[in-house]
Structure 1
Amino acid sequence: MAWNVTGSLVALVTPFAADGSVDFDALGALIDFHLANHTDGLVVLGTTGESSTMTHEEDAAVCDYTVKRVAGRIPVIAGSGSNSTETMLEKSIMFENLGADGLLLITPYYNKANAEGIYRHFATVADAVHIPCILYNVPGRTGCSIPLPVLARLAQHPNVVGIKEASGDISYATEVAKLLCDNFCMYSGNDDIILPLLSLGGAGVISVLANVCPAQTHELVAAYHAGDIARAREIQLSYLELIHALFIEVNPIPVKTALQMMGKAVGGFRLPLCEMTAEHAETLRNALTKAGVL
């Protein structure tokens, strides 16, 4: 399946209103912010979007709203993952029907599964839908990684177009790089190693940093692809302190707090997530100030 989406794809937060419901006005403002700052794609309902605490109805509403607001200007990828393959299948079909351009599919966390089970988990969805599927490898969250032989099989599937590689393991990413081709790409899932994964042939990043620095994250990837390695390196290193601050507590607590500090109405969190400590908030504010965001 044709898929040539490169650049900075933001792992978008989900704004909540004071009563805890999804704040669609704030979501619209965030989408407009990214369109104005050259973000190359929106990834909704992922880890950063707090989808694990949202209902299926809320997921559908966020996907529907985002697709309509974007109106085809950039790709919209919806996170439909679940540790239940049947649930992931249902959500994937729903998001396809709502007009999502692609799907982000996570490994079966908690269950973990054996190698064949992990293969079937992804293949069940890829067989059923008609839009591109991006696999999501984040063992620090899920407790399991996609075995490389399984990944090699999935990379041959016509509906599997890439992987969000968020293990932080360069050795694993190097093995993934052997599988890259016109029909299978890799996105960095870690903002602190965007440039190293680009150097291995990566197409871009699915980024938390892009929530607060969309233009800069876009420029980092664009500079690399234009051959300006020095500029890409400069951006990667100059934002490293902020990147670390954005993960000083579990994502998306810091990035949502950062957006609040920037005056963006993203609201609070849903339990078990809650406000970050005052000490960490000060560290984050200092990093945002040093990076010129505040």
Structure 2
Amino acid sequence: MFSPITGIMPVVLTPFHEDASIDWESYARLLEWYIDKGADALFAVCQSSEMHELTLEERVALAKFTARHVKNRIPVYASGHVSQDPREQKRELTSMVDTGVDGVVLVTNRLASEEAEEDTATHGLLSLMTELPRDLPLGLYECPAPYRRLLTDDQIKLCADSGRFTMLKDVSCDLEVVARRVEMSLGSPLSIMNANAAIAWPAMQAGASGFGGVFNNIHPDLYKWLYREGKQNSSLANELAVFLATSALAEPMGYPALAKWFLKREGVLKTTTCRKMDHKDLKRFWALEDILQRIEEGNAIYRQKITENSTQTLVLSARFASNESTTN
């Protein structure tokens, strides 16, 4: 049986030069940044990668580069089927199989047209599954563009029972739905990874397998702490969850360019260039730079609080151990 993907799974950006060609040097630094910040897995060639603006050759090259650079340190999954034609989708997905990635992700809005019924989407799902090797772990992504197609309960059960799926990037943005899906997938390798920052903490408490939202490109280490340590530090976790949810409200103000702006300031990327939008459009969002600077300051504040919390825990543990030794 495959192992589920759990923890923090950033959606990997694609850095570009000013001429919009892929900046491989920055991409290597970005992959290391994710790993250094505690990523448990990576989701490459996704919407945040601007997959709809990449050629198939570029998508395959990104997947290969990611797998080769990461070198099995953490799992790498990749998607990249963007066509509407099912035959072309099969070509796109099978092209990913030999890239060295650990899993291939099916995008749910590619299963059928927006108006199609559940049975049509289920047929599309089964058809794509038959084209991919049974010994290759699969993932699911409810990508919101060009339209959002949420999986039905029957489709979730089908995927869980198949034993072939190890993660769902859940974009329902509904805590009740997340909790129900967690319950439905128990005993299977399918993990439910919420991608909505507003419910990140309660979803984790409800059994979600981590966090896969876009603000893993801003502060993945804070989500990592929330997932790994939050239950043991509920007061700080509740406070941090408010900061993370509030920060994520900036997403409509020019993502992914705003994330690239952030990473450029950190010295990871050279430019904020995007193919899906003119990065100069950031200027139309009033005070965006000031907002991002406040988020940057908030990151520093909460990293310090986490350090102080950890130090205090170690001190208390040492005192307890000392008292136990003296008593005995």
Same fold (TM over 0.5): yes
- Tell whether the 8 Å contact from 1:138 to 1:167 is kept in structure 2 after alignment: no
Pairing 1:4-153 to 2, within 5 Å after superposition: 4-82=4-82, 83-108=84-109, 111-112=113-114, 113-129=116-132, 130-139=135-144, 142-153=147-158
Q: By how many angstroms is 1:230 displaced?
A: 4.2
- After superposition, the Cα gap between the structure-2 partners of 1:49 and 1:271, relative to the gap in structure 1 and judged at 3 Å, is closer
Provide the alpha-carbon RMSD of the alignment: 2.3
How far apart are residue 79 of structure 1 and its match? 1.7
Residues 243-258 of structure 1 mapped to structure 2, 5 A cutoff: 243-245=248-250, 247-258=251-262
Q: Given the superposition, is the C-alpha separation of residues 248 and 111 from structure 1 closer, same or farther in structure 2, using an over 3 Å criterion? A: same
* Paired amino acid for 1:194: A
On the 8 A contact 1:242/1:288 being kept in 2, the answer is no
Match of 1:288 among 289, 296, 306: 296
- 1:188 paired with 2:189, answer no
Structure-2 separation of matches of 1:36 and 1:173 = 29
2:275 paired residue among 265, 270, 276? 270
State the Cα distance separating 1:94 from its structure 2 match: 1.9
Any idea what the Cα deviations from partners look like across 1:64-122, whole Å, max 9, x if unmatched?
11100000000001023334333332222222211111122212258223212211222
Tell me the secondary structure at the aligned position of residue 77 of structure 1.
strand
> What do residues 10-56 of structure 1 show as CA deviations (whole Å, max 9, x unaligned)?
11111001211111100000111122222111111111111110000
Does the Cα contact within 8 Å between 2:2 and 2:163 map onto a contact in 1?
Answer: no
Q: Percent identity?
A: 19
1:166 CA displacement: 1.1
Alignment of 1:133-282 (within 5 A): 133-139=138-144, 142-183=147-188, 184-224=190-230, 227-245=232-250, 247-265=251-269, 267=271, 268-272=273-277, 274=279, 275-276=281-282, 277-279=284-286, 280-282=288-290
CA distance in structure 2 between the aligned counterparts of 1:231 and 1:85, rounded to whole angstroms: 47
Residue segments in structure 2 that go unaligned for 5+ positions in a row: 302-328
**Separation (CA, whole Å) in 2 of partners of 1:27 and 1:203:** 27
The residue matched to 1:161 in structure 2 has which SS? strand
TM (normalized to structure 1)? 0.89
TM-score (norm 2): 0.80
Could you say which structure has the higher helix fraction?
A: 2
Partners of 1:273 and 1:166 lie apart in 2 by: 26
The CA distance in 2 between the partners of 1:8 and 1:284, in whole Å, is 22
**Other structure's SS at 2:109 match:** coil
Closer, same or farther: CA 20–97 of 1 in aligned 2, 3 Å: same
Residues paired across the two proteins, number: 291
Deviation of the 1:272 alpha carbon: 4.2
- The structure-2 alpha-carbon separation of the partners of 1:271 and 1:33, relative to structure 1 and needing over 3 Å to count, comes to closer
Once the two structures are superposed, what CA deviation does each residue of 1:114-162 show, in whole Å capped at 9, x if it has no partner? Answer: 2122112222232332321121124575243222222222222221223
For the 8 Å contact 2:192–2:209, the answer to whether it is kept is yes
**Counterparts of 1:216 and 1:170, CA distance in 2:** 20
Pair 1:289–1:106, CA change in 2 (3 A):
same
Kept in 1, the 8 Å contact 2:33–2:268? The answer is: no
Q: Indicate the larger mover: 141-150 or 91-100.
A: 141-150
List alignment gaps of at least 5 residues for structure 1: none
| Contact kept in structure 1, 2:170 and 2:195, CA below 8 Å | yes
Residue 194 of structure 1 and its aligned partner are, at CA, apart by 1.5
Q: Structure 1 residues 276-285 or 211-220, which shifts more?
A: 276-285
